[in-house]
């Protein structure tokens, strides 16, 4: 499973409206950096970010740990709403 699919599975397990979840990878100018953009419905933003950003940080930690096992890239995850 690649990092984008992993991120999508984690986010879909947290939200109510799974059809509104969009996860895409974008290129960056830096060689060892990967940017993943997550877009969810406005009502699900609180579930994905969590209290004090705990859920968002947990998602970043899991995806970063998975990256360390594969290609060892730094992962940036941007969470936004429709």
Question: pTM for the whole thing?
Answer: 0.91
What is the torsional sign of CA 59, 64, 67, 69? Answer: negative
The CATH classification of domain 3-81, taken from the options 1.50.10.20, 3.30.300.20, 3.40.50.300, 3.40.50.700: 3.30.300.20
* Three-state SS at 27: coil
pLDDT digits (tens, 9 = 90+) for 5-40: 999 999 999 999 999 999 999 989 998 999 999 999
Query: Hey, where are the domains in the chain?
Result: 3-81
Report the pLDDT averaged over residues 53-78: 93
């Amino acid at each position: 499973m690649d990092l984008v699919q992993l991120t999508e599975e984690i986010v879909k397990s947290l939200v109510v409206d799974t059809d509104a979840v969009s996860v895409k990878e974008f290129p960056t100018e830096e060689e060892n950096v990967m940017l993943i953009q997550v877009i969810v419905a406005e009502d699900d933003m609180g579930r994905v970010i969590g209290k004090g950003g705990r859920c968002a940080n947990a998602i970043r930690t899991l995806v970063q740990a998975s990256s360390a096992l594969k290609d060892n890239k730094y992962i940036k995850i941007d969470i936004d709403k429709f």
